[in-house]
Amino acid sequence: MRTIKTLLLVVALTFSSVLVASTNAEDEKGAESVAITEEIGKLLENPRFILEKDVVASVTITINKNNEIVVLSVDTDENYLVSYIKSRLNYNELPVTVNSGEKTFIVPVRITPEE
């Protein structure tokens, strides 16, 4: 009976350790995504052009080995928005180290006119 209790205790500890380990990995990925999104939001603030309506773009980026944002493409119909996003984002360093390897990120961007 004692060996069964001991075996159950070991299984319970092992199972709880696995759950804790998997939760931390997701939190780190979530923190990286939040850091990337916040930094892009800061970099795209205060455009130097006047907008009459909301403009939307889908920006594909990657992070290089120097922890800098590299814009791969900007999917939008507005040409001025493509050059604005590329000039503001390309080769700006992130405040948090991101272990992305060869990953690409697709970030939706919406710029609204000031009220």
Q: Supply the CATH number for residue 9's domain.
A: 3.30.1150
Q: Which residues span the domain enclosing 85?
A: 2-111
Average pLDDT by stretches of 10, the chain with 115 residues = 64 58 52 82 87 89 90 92 93 82 84 80
Task: State residue 71's pLDDT score.
Answer: 94
Give the global pTM: 0.69
Q: Which two tokens stand for residue 106?
A: 């697709």
Residue 82 dihedral angles phi and psi, to the nearest 5°: -60, -50
Q: Which two tokens stand for residue 85?
A: 């996003």
Number of domains in the chain: 1
